[in-house]
Amino acid sequence: MKGPGIEARERLETLSALACVALILGFVTGSQAGPWTALGLLLFALFQPVPSAWFVRGWKTVTHGIAKVVTALLLVVVHLLVVTPTGRLRRIGRKPPAVGSAFVAADEPESGPAPASWDRPG
């Protein structure tokens, strides 16, 4: 029997993976709930195909939302730990930009822009 867009193999894989996680958490914490939860998930997957497909679909929606947040946080951490120090290390020992280059306007003194020039356009 087929659920809403979830194939039987995908349903069994997802619920058996969740059962393994429940079993491992039960062994780590010493709780009796882990093995019973794992057994319940496996029986649910085997004997209730359509309702378990709805459960798998909901679980995948939740994990997709979590993945978006975790991916963004991971990219921020990688940027802060790798890209930013690399850029700073590349700038060590370089001469400051020349006056009239793309970074420093020709009419600005060596000390930087004057407060009156902060309001100029462009």
**In this predicted model, what pLDDT tens digit does every residue of 44-62 receive, in sequence order?**
877 877 777 788 888 889 9
Measured CA to CA in angstroms, residue 47 lies from 11, 12, 38, 52, 109 at distances of 12, 11, 14, 9, 79
> In sequence order, which residues have a C-beta less than 8 Å from that of residue 23 and are 6 or more positions away?
34, 35, 37, 38
Separation of alpha carbons 74 and 42, rounded Å: 33
Q: How many residues does the chain have?
A: 122
Each residue of 71-101: pLDDT tens digit?
999 999 999 998 888 888 877 877 766 655 6
Q: Is the pLDDT of residue 3 over 70?
A: no
Rounded mean pLDDT of 2-9?
Answer: 63
Separation of alpha carbons 20 and 37, rounded Å: 10
CB 34 within 8 A of CB 26: yes
Among 41, 4, 2, residue whose Cα is nearest residue 19 = 41
